[in-house]
Amino acid sequence: MGHEYVPEIAIDRDGNQHEVQGWQGDYYGGKLGFWLFMLTEVMMFGAMFLSLAYYNSLHPQDFLDASAGLNRLLGGTNTVILLVSALTMGLGLLRMRAGDVKGSKLMIWATILLAVAFLVIKGFEWTAEYHHGIFLMHDKLLPESSLPFGQKLFYGLYFAMTGLHGFHIIIGIGLMLWLLKRINAGKVSTEHHILHWNIALYWDIVHLIWVFVFPYFYMIGAGGATGGH
Amino acid sequence: MSKTYFDETHCAIGHPKSTFMQWMLTIDHKRIGIMYAAVMFVFFFVAVFTAFAMRLELFAPGGQYMDGDTFNQAFTLHGVIMIFLFIIPGIPAIFGNIVMPLMIGAKDVSFPRLNWFTFWLYIAGCCIALASLFIGEGVADTGWTFYAPYSMNTGTNVIMALVAAFVLGFASILTGLNFLVTIHRLRAPGMTFFKMPLFVWGIYATAWIQLLATPVVGITLVLAILEKYFGIGIFDPAKGGDPVLFQHLFWIYSHPAVYLMILPAFGIMSEIIPTFSRKEVFGYRTIALSSASIAGIGYLVWGHHLYTSGMSDIAKTVFSFLTFFVAIPTGVKFYDWVATMYQGKIVLSTPMIWALGTIITFAIGGITGVTITMIGMDVHLQDTYYTVAHFHYAILGGVVFLLFAGMHYWFPLVTGKMYNETKAKIAFYLNFIGFNLLWFPMFIAGYYGMPRRYFDYLPEFEIYHQISFVGAVIFIAGLIYMFWVFFKGWTKGEATTPNPWNATTLEWHLPTSPPPLENHSKVPYVDFDPYEYKHGEPVVKFNYETMQRID
């Protein structure tokens, strides 16, 4: 970035001119690259869902019981928060494309706020589970506890996947703060907003993964049980 | 004389004055490729000498120089370095970086700063792997596959090895991503996919594997780290986990990774054979598409690593069938290369004899692979020296030999100098003889039941190990001699012209040798096929001022 790129011209045998695509300012390439990167995220979480589905097929009843123990109210609230944050992020991008930089920044701040709220709620949830003796290397999840294998596997994957998802949220917050800095510096503008576009895509994948995580962990046990902790 | 990429560079941060910092911060794809090569060959020799230490121990039955635990750590170190630090990133990182953009007429890769970052990520991974040697109980003793549950229970530094492999995998993903976008976006005008050189096709297929398979092993390694660190029981049966699941997830990546190693190597072969046969390549499209289909089928065959781990018979049969299937596109490639040479004006320069030698060694590696595709044979030969010999013939005699072929082929392009042909050929014969002497006896030893990864053995296997040892000495001597020839060539060799081999692809149509900073001073319009020869002479000629055709 920064270098002013003047496209080169290649001339074929008939004398026709063809523009050479340079790597500088190749917005289409920037988008393509980030889409491909998001594909790797999908493969990564895909492998975890595969493990989850496999153990679910081995211990169906344990999975339902363990799922019933999760707090669906907090999980559901978080889902709503994340869906709204995806909306604000998207609106921010629309504002940016329409030329409203100030409105766009406002929307990014709103997204950051919602993301922080998500993490705070997640923190409460994990704390409550900790007090119920369900936490990594703790009480009921220790090898010698009498909790059935299926439930241990469920909680293990629950902490691994929501933890990894939470890690993505933290990275997302960092990216958005960086984006605000770039906007303030004039590096991201109505004409040059590929970075904004890509971070919005990232946030979309993060919320999309949650849309699968939530029903698999929180909702499968909702049928027979009466509620959370 | 005009400036080359040795004289000037673009940097990621600022424009430092010192040459050293310019190299450290360079975003020029050619320099980054050279730096990868330098680091990788250092590690290559570390792994070679680890292997030599094991050969020394195995020279006679019983323990001589190391105990069993050290031996376990030695083969793990050898495997981890060779697989994760050298062969998997090897050809894409070195030649994918140096020549792929030149071949498609691009000024650089799509994301040069990402390329720079990826290199340093790779270095970080190497440092973590090295650090595990000196911390705590030393390097992991699990073998490079980190099979659970042993890896969950051993006291050695498995976590660091896993982290290193994860970081290196991340670097591999980013490299593949960069190349995919480069190939899609930065081809010279007029160059359609079916006008790309075959090496670019190899890199393209490889990049898809890097992108789609590596994240799966990445998360598997993360789960293993979480399991070791936080006690989550996903793979350890003591906590309800399933160790076979680890093997499935591991090989879903690591089997495609085998094709990730060999496809760019086949790409090098597809460049060298037409150039030194002075003939258009036979079956261009089938070679290109076979790369893509090997990449595709390669995803579906991971189960053949699990024949003896416990799988339903139907699953075994399906995986066996699919594994046979990979041999078809591979065979197509080999027939195409042989057909290319038929009635060609063959020039036996060093790159060509490396390629021809590889046809022999890889054919042995490939055919022995087909034998252990059969379930019954595999149950007999699983974890014996037969398997060891098979994958060394395929990987060392296929991938690494072709990497060496490529090093000779592109040496004048990268350095602007020429190595000594006679000496380089002597190095080849030393390597080729040493290699076969080293690995061929292992097929026999393995067939008679010599298990792999054992530091002691029954006396009847002694003769095979001793022949192997002699082979190892010759092979290592050949390797050192080859690098000596390169070194002499670079420092004292004669300057060459930009196209010493009379090759046709775009990387040889540069204004100077070595290339200038932004490659082609002017990008040509590509309305020709990559390998056009007539009566043994290249058809397409350029005016290097305007890059317009003058033929």
List pLDDT tens digits, range B119-129: 999 999 999 99
Q: Which residue in A39, A51, A147 has the most chain B C-beta atoms within 10 A of its own C-beta, making it the best mutation to test that interface?
A: A51
Looking at residue B140, the DSSP 8-state letter turns out to be -
Which band of pLDDT confidence, cut at 50, 70 and 90, is reported for residue B287? very high
pLDDT for A140 equals: 82
Q: What is the crossing angle of helices B243-277 and B284-297, to 10°?
A: 170
Is A142 in Cβ contact with B231 (below 8 Å)?
A: yes
ipTM of this predicted structure: 0.91
Is A26 in Cβ contact with B185 (below 8 Å)?
A: yes
A146-182 pLDDT, tens digit each: 889 999 999 999 999 999 999 999 999 999 999 999 9
Measured between CA atoms, the residue of chain A closest to residue B240 is A149
Q: Which residue in B104, B247, B525 has the most chain A C-beta atoms within 10 A of its own C-beta, making it the best mutation to test that interface?
A: B525
B364-405 pLDDT, tens digit each: 999 999 999 999 999 999 999 999 999 999 999 999 999 999
Q: Does B215 touch chain A (CB under 8 A)?
A: yes
pLDDT for B26 equals: 94
pLDDT at A225 over 60: no
Residue B66 burial by Cβ neighbours in a 10 Å radius (0-12, 13-18, 19+): middle
pLDDT at B131 over 50: yes
- Terminal Cα-to-Cα distance of chain B (whole angstroms): 26
Q: Among B26, B42, B37, B32, which residue's Cα sits nearest to residue B97? A: B32
- If phi > 0 it is left, if psi is from -120 to 50 it is alpha, else beta; for residue B38 that is alpha
Q: Does B472 touch chain A (CB under 8 A)?
A: no
Kindly state the tokens that stand for B499: 């196209």
Chain A stretch 74-103, residues whose beta carbon is closer than 8 A to a beta carbon of chain B: none
Min Cα distance A87 → chain B (Å) is 28
Q: Among B231, A208, B240, A58, which residue's Cα sits nearest to residue B223? A: B231
**A137-146 long-range Cβ contacts below 8 angstroms, 24+ apart:** A137/B230, A137/B231, A141/B231, A141/B232, A142/B231, A143/B231, A143/B233, A143/B238, A143/B239
pLDDT for A5 equals: 67
Mean pLDDT (chain A, rounded): 91
B257 or A226, which is more confident = B257
Which residues does chain A have within 8 Å of residue B244's beta carbon, measured at their own beta carbons?
none
Min Cα distance A103 → chain B (Å) is 30
* 3-state SS assignment for residue B544: coil
Q: Of all residues in chain A, what percent are helix, strand and coil, respectively (each to 5)? A: 70, 5, 25
- Half-sphere exposure (CA, 13 Å, Cβ side) for B384? 20
Is there a cis peptide before residue A143, judged by omega within 30 degrees of 0?
no
Which band of pLDDT confidence, cut at 50, 70 and 90, is reported for residue A138? confident
Q: Among B52, B87, B64, which residue's Cα sits nearest to residue B391? A: B87
pLDDT for A229 equals: 45
pLDDT for A78 equals: 96
Residues B302-309 have a mean pLDDT of 92
CB B192 within 8 A of CB B529: no
Is B215 in Cβ contact with A40 (below 8 Å)?
A: yes
Minimum-distance CB partner of B185 among A13, A29, A47: A29
Minimum-distance CB partner of B525 among A18, A51, A164: A18
Kindly state the tokens that stand for A216: 């698999």
Question: Measured between alpha carbons, how far is B524 from B61 in angstroms, rounded to an integer?
Answer: 63
Which band of pLDDT confidence, cut at 50, 70 and 90, is reported for residue B494? very high
Question: Measured between alpha carbons, how far is B145 from B186 in angstroms, rounded to an integer?
Answer: 37
Which band of pLDDT confidence, cut at 50, 70 and 90, is reported for residue B3? confident
A27-60 pLDDT, tens digit each: 899 999 999 999 999 999 999 999 999 999 999 9
pLDDT for B543 equals: 86
Residues B75-92 have a mean pLDDT of 93
Q: What is the 3-state secondary structure (H, E, C) of B446-490?
A: HHCCCECCCCCCCHHHHHHHHHHHHHHHHHHHHHHHHHHHHHHHH
Which residues does chain A have within 8 Å of residue B106's beta carbon, measured at their own beta carbons?
23
Which band of pLDDT confidence, cut at 50, 70 and 90, is reported for residue A25? confident
B207-229 pLDDT, tens digit each: 999 999 899 999 999 999 999 88
A99-114 pLDDT, tens digit each: 999 999 999 999 999 9
Looking at residue B250, the DSSP 8-state letter turns out to be H
Pairs of CB atoms within 8 A across A/B? 144
Which band of pLDDT confidence, cut at 50, 70 and 90, is reported for residue B546? confident
Q: Does B323 touch chain A (CB under 8 A)?
A: no
Is A46 in Cβ contact with B549 (below 8 Å)?
A: no
Residues B64-85 have a mean pLDDT of 92
Is A12 in Cβ contact with B527 (below 8 Å)?
A: yes
Which residues does chain A have within 8 Å of residue B105's beta carbon, measured at their own beta carbons?
20
Chain A stretch 115-144, residues whose beta carbon is closer than 8 A to a beta carbon of chain B: 136-137, 141-143
Poorest-pLDDT segment among A3-12, B60-69, B128-137, B311-320: A3-12
Mean pLDDT (chain B, rounded): 93
Q: Does A152 touch chain B (CB under 8 A)?
A: yes
B344-369 pLDDT, tens digit each: 999 999 999 999 999 999 999 999 99
Residues A62-85 have a mean pLDDT of 94
Q: Does A15 touch chain B (CB under 8 A)?
A: no
CB B306 within 8 A of CB B244: yes
* H or E segment to which residue B417 belongs: strand B417-418
Residues A86-93 have a mean pLDDT of 96
pLDDT for B405 equals: 97
Which band of pLDDT confidence, cut at 50, 70 and 90, is reported for residue B450? very high
Measured between CA atoms, the residue of chain A closest to residue B112 is A23
Min Cα distance A137 → chain B (Å) is 6
DSSP one-letter string for A121-154: HHHHHHHHHHHTT-STTSGGGSTTS-S-HHHHHH
Q: Among B213, B209, B203, B215, which residue's Cα sits nearest to residue B179? A: B203
B45, B66, B112 from B48: Cα distances, Å: 5, 17, 32
Which band of pLDDT confidence, cut at 50, 70 and 90, is reported for residue A197? very high
Question: Measured between alpha carbons, how far is B239 from A141 in angstroms, rounded to an integer?
Answer: 9
Is A10 in Cβ contact with B110 (below 8 Å)?
A: no
Q: Among B236, B78, B72, which residue's Cα sits nearest to residue B142? A: B72
